[in-house]
Amino acid sequence: MDYKTVTQQVDAVIEASLDGWIDQLARLVAQPSISAQGVGMTECAELVATMLREQDFEAEVMPTEMYPVVYGEGNGRSSRTLLFYLHYDVQPPEPLDLWESPPFTLTRRGDHLFGRGITDDKGHIICRLAALAAVRQVLGELPCRVKFIIEGEEEIGSPRMPAFVAQHKEKLAADACIWEFGSVDHDGRPTQSLGMRGICYVELSVKTAEIDAHSGLGGSIFPNAAWRLVWALNSLKDENERIRIPGFYDNVQPPTTRDLELLDNLPDDSAKLKEMFGLAGYVRGLTGGLEWKKAAVFEPTCTICGLESGYQGPGPKTVLPATARAKVDFRLVPDQTPEEVLTKLRAYLDAQGFTDVEITFLGGGRPARVDPDDPFVRLANETAVEVYGKEPVIEPIIGGSGPNYPFIHELGLPLVSAGIGYPGGRAHAPNENIRIPDLINGIRHTARIILRFGGITP
Amino acid sequence: MDYKTVTQQVDAVIEASLDGWIDQLARLVAQPSISAQGVGMTECAELVATMLREQDFEAEVMPTEMYPVVYGEGNGRSSRTLLFYLHYDVQPPEPLDLWESPPFTLTRRGDHLFGRGITDDKGHIICRLAALAAVRQVLGELPCRVKFIIEGEEEIGSPRMPAFVAQHKEKLAADACIWEFGSVDHDGRPTQSLGMRGICYVELSVKTAEIDAHSGLGGSIFPNAAWRLVWALNSLKDENERIRIPGFYDNVQPPTTRDLELLDNLPDDSAKLKEMFGLAGYVRGLTGGLEWKKAAVFEPTCTICGLESGYQGPGPKTVLPATARAKVDFRLVPDQTPEEVLTKLRAYLDAQGFTDVEITFLGGGRPARVDPDDPFVRLANETAVEVYGKEPVIEPIIGGSGPNYPFIHELGLPLVSAGIGYPGGRAHAPNENIRIPDLINGIRHTARIILRFGGITP
């Protein structure tokens, strides 16, 4: 059978089996798996393993210090191996009153399917299984070997993934990897995300006394934890957004000419985002265009995610706080590392006299990117054109973070995105949803990547 | 009758009537009057008026925009008028589980009486009534005219007191005033507080977007409310505690030689406070002594009382906050005013580019002091020696704030403290209490001030 016949038959199987896969998705959504709250995690890992076995894959639930990783594998015609990275954990469903249907009951309204995790990431688990099943049904076997690594801590920062990958390097050995997500943009164009910024998330805390004091008593003589924190934070970044930690920018690699070319081809979302978030404007006078796009993803950040000290209720309370805390998130670009940020941050705070500011590391991961001209990336882009009828939007790196570093640099894999998302999907928010046509296209795209990777090419 | 005989008889009446006055205190404590929560306020104002009438004073409950003021008056032998400033509102009783007996039930354990408001300020209302009753019983009439102003908003900053005093200047006209408090120190010495710092309490708030953003998306391009607030706060005070608002110190009057003499005579509580609050040390290398005492009360402050922005829960959350708020309390020394602070603060923030930082005024009052050599102050000190057998500790000004300004400067009154408190009284905290010997001494001291003010002198 030639490529065209195979893909036509695969598409037909996908169409015919869709309702069955939506039922499978409903089954998966119905099992809560909230990593942040420790709800249903083992049960969901077992369910995912069962679903892999029902598709004739070998599956094992591998314990970690926290939530298990589901590992799966299956043989195919060639010995080339395609790895699927996915996760079975979901964000907490709260606030519950904003859901229009119960979060853990898949609910169809028109062309939309609603439920917690339906796009992030349970829908993608089903997308991969449906694509593999369709390909196998048409070919009688898979055209390549496949492996699955489906973790349970992605929504809490994948803290154990780098060590897990390093520990199971041989078991996870593969030739290419399909990442956990993929989506179309506002114009229905598929997106191809080639990298992610790293992250170093810390809590800065100060304690200046055992108990709060009355501000009339201590105001001019007691150290104040809130002031210490404000001064320490102020020392980290100036009002022009320049991070003041010495050496912070040392390992920043500027975008290449190829990166800038890709950025330039991206749609300019500056006006859309400004409106969506109700911003008066962007920092540093950025107004859109290439400079704005570069700033958005090719620069490291130092973001205060939270501040807490003293009295926060209504009206006045004359208290001098004994403790103060800030959550601070550094986004890192290649080749920065969370380890160097921690070291440089500590040294700088000490040098500035802020030895009283404690740093607690809450999670991190390195930035990592795939070569935009890798053959596997080209394969993913070509198959995207087949399915979507549009050239993909290629993002050389995105602003967010994820555990792609060990896959790219430890396992040496090219990573591509392919999937079922769209901009209205409300991942992490109430009424998380997908559109059925996107689900179908995501399965078709995944199937074509499997086919071509397995040597069935036009 | 000479002064000695009168005071002996007055003391005897106080002794004999003590149990009855403790019953009256129990009656007053049993009526909650939590201004911060709006609980029982009108009921308590009516009860206080009833208790004044039961003592043959005229009393009226005067409405304000919020909680009524109880005004009372009574005639006496001379036309000189003594004004009592008191308040009937109390702090919230929470946290309730830390009370060893119900907060609104006066409970006696050994020599201590427990209950919310027992020292601040219901015990002082009873102290004044008991002293007046004893004096009247011995003399057959009061030796002077008396007036009462018993407000219901002291615990929320007395926001309407300056206007109330200005509006009722003639009605409140008097020759001297006994303030709402008074206490002995750790060594059993009575304290005489001659002034209070003023206060200007503001909330600073920033809003940079309509909704929070993902820190991966907005970290390097979106304005961040928490950062704006940190930078704005940092601009207000440097790490050496110097307030940077131009002109902030213009109207600060340095302590006089007499003030420094009084300060020098005060006990040095620096080691005690350091231990009590678990401080590593004081700001600016202060270690006690006169410099420490001066800094504690004769300098204005800028205290961050609270900070709030973004995510404050456990672990990491990668959010870029749309809003941030700080509570900031400026303590003022003569001749600073809250009005000038507000004006200068706004002008400075604007000049620094922080036009996006909103200032909400949450309350304020001017600093005010009484001349330490005023004859009425001397009278209060001399009678304190009679009762306590010890020279009083004279504080030229204290670090806290209260509505003394309109009494001193609008009504032109000397103010003295006399009362029933002690350092273990836990005002504002669970298990608020007084000691019965302090109650007796407070009543005796108040009675002697009334007698001498009314012309009955040794």
Structural domain tally of chain A?
Answer: 2
User: Which residues of B fall within a CB distance of 8 Å from A304?
Assistant: 224, 226-227, 230, 309-310, 321
Element spanning B227, H or E: helix B225-234
Specify which residues A368 forms β-bridges with. A196
Four-CA torsion A435, A441, A447, A448, nearest 10 degrees: -160
Rounded Cα–Cα distance for residues A88 and B140 (Å): 87
Q: Is A265 inside any structural domain?
A: no
Q: Are B340 and B252 in contact (CB under 8 A)?
A: no
Residue with tokens 């598409």: A11
Q: What gap in Å lies between CA A81 and CA A58, rounded to an integer?
A: 15
| Residue owning tokens 């400026």 | B330
pLDDT of residue A32: 98
Residue range(s) defining the domain that contains residue A357: 198-252+299-365
B449 shares a domain with B384: yes
| Mean confidence (pLDDT) of chain B | 96
Q: Is the separation of the CB atoms in A143 and A78 below 8 Å?
A: yes
pLDDT for residue A388 is more than 90: yes
The complex scores an ipTM of 0.92
| B335 upstream amide cis, omega within 30 of 0 | yes
The CA distance from B290 to the nearest CA of chain A, in Å, is: 13
* Exposed/middle/buried for residue A156 (C-beta within 10 Å: 0-12, 13-18, 19+): buried
Q: Looking at the structure, do residues B419 and B393 belong to the same domain, yes or no?
A: yes
Q: Bin B98: left if φ > 0, else alpha if -120 < ψ < 50, else beta.
A: alpha
Phi, psi (degrees; rounded to nearest 5) at A58: -75, 140
The model's pLDDT over B297-342, given as tens digits with 9 standing for 90+, comes to 999 999 999 999 999 988 888 899 999 999 999 999 999 999 999 9
In sign, the C-alpha dihedral spanning B408, B411, B416, B422 is: negative
Q: Is residue B219 part of a domain?
A: yes
Interface test with B, best of A207, A212, A221 (most B CBs within 10 A): A221
Look at residue B7 and tell me whether its pLDDT is greater than 90.
yes
Residues A12-53: pLDDT tens digits?
999 999 999 999 999 999 999 999 899 999 999 999 999 999
Chain A residues closer than 8 Å to B234 by CB: 230-231, 234
Closest residue in A to B212 (Cα–Cα): A277
Residue with tokens 């001064």: A231
Statement to judge: residues B216 and B122 lie in one domain: no
C-beta atoms surrounding B449 within 10 Å: 23
Answer whether residue B325 is part of any domain: yes
Q: Does residue B389 share a domain with residue B316?
A: no
Do A209 and A175 share a structural domain? no
Q: Which of A221, A325, A327 sits opposite B296 (nearest CB)?
A: A221
pLDDT (average), residues B186-203: 96
Query: Considering only CB atoms, which chain A residues are within 8 Å of B356?
Result: 280
* Distance, CA of B253 to CA of B258 (rounded, Å): 13
Residue B303: which of A219, A299, A327 has the nearest Cβ?
A: A219
Nearest CA in chain B to A354: B239
Over the Cα atoms of chain B, what is R_g?
24
We report the CATH number of the domain holding residue A190 as 3.40.630.10
**DSSP state at residue A166:** H
User: Both tokens of residue B49?
Assistant: 């008026």
Is A329 found in the same domain as A231?
yes
Q: Pick from B396, B353, B379, B400: which is nearest to B445 by CA?
A: B379
B62 strand-pairing partners: B69
Instruction: Look at residues B365, B394, B420 and tell me which one is the last residue of a structural domain.
Output: B365
What is the per-residue pLDDT across B256-303, written as a single tens digit (0 to 9) for each?
999 999 999 999 999 999 999 999 999 999 999 999 999 999 999 999
- Residue B157 is predicted with a pLDDT of 87
The answer to the question of residue A17 being in a domain is: yes
Residue A388 sits at the vertex; the CA angle it makes with A386 and A391, to the nearest 5 degrees, is: 80
Pairing type for strands B107-109 and B112-114 reads antiparallel
Per-residue HEC secondary structure of B131-168 comes to HHHHHHHHHCCCCCEEEEEEECCHHHCCCCHHHHHHHC
What are the residues facing B367 on neighbouring strands? none
Q: Hey, are the CB atoms on A219 and B329 less than 8 Å from each other?
A: yes
Interface probe for B, chosen from A193, A272, A297, A307 (most Cβ of B below 10 Å), is A307
A101 & A218 share domain: no
Q: Looking at CA atoms only, how far is residue B348 from chain A in angstroms?
A: 16
> Which residues in chain A have Cβ-Cβ distances shorter than 8 Å to B363?
315-316
- A331/B398 touch (CB, cutoff 8 Å), yes or no: no
For residues A239 and A185, state if they share a domain: no
Instruction: Clarify whether residues A30 and A95 are in a common domain.
Output: yes
**Count of beta carbons in the 10 Å neighbourhood of residue B123:** 29
Pick from B349, B340, B370, B365: nearest CA to B250? B340
Q: Choose, out of A305, A317, A354, A359, the residue to mutate when testing the contact with B (most B CBs < 10 Å).
A: A305
Cβ contacts from A onto B, under 8 A: 258
Residues A89 and A225 in one domain: no
Same domain for A430 and A307, yes or no, is: no
Q: For residue A166, what are the contacts with CB-CB under 8 A and spacing of at least 6?
A: A406, A410
Q: What is the pTM of this model?
A: 0.91
Q: Give the closest-approach CA distance of A270 to chain B in angstroms.
A: 10
Considering CB atoms only, which of B226, B229, B305 is closest to A317? B305
Same domain, yes or no, for B143 and B234? no
Q: CA-to-CA distance for A237 and A137, rounded, in angstroms?
A: 57
> Does pLDDT of A453 surpass 90?
yes
